[in-house]
Amino acid sequence: MRKKSFQVLAVLVGLTFLAGILQSQTTTHPKSDSPASSHPLVVLPTATPEEVGLSSERLGRIARSIQADVDESRISGGVSLVARHGKVV
């Protein structure tokens, strides 16, 4: 019985320690002078679906399918991005 209590206590202490580590990692914010903040905003090139060999009608099915899943409460929302030949359509 005493061994079982010690095991439970050890697990609780371990989980508490792990939670403290995870919390400290998630609450730190990058410094404002970090290298990522000095990069310029990159604008992705765009094209119409037809310019890159895709069908506007078929791509529209993606949006309708995602919206149907949202309307039927299967998912809370969705985002899609389609790119071809380095261009966002």
Q: Kindly report whether the global pTM for this prediction surpasses the value 0.85.
A: no
Please answer whether residues 69 and 78 qualify as being in contact, where contact means their C-beta atoms are separated by less than 8 angstroms: yes
**Per-domain residue ranges of the chain:** 1-30, 43-89
Give, for all 89 residues of the chain, the pLDDT tens digit.
Answer: 566 665 666 666 665 655 665 555 554 555 555 555 666 788 889 999 999 999 999 999 999 999 999 999 999 998 889 999 999 99
Residues with Cβ < 8 Å from 51, sequence gap 6 or more?
87, 89
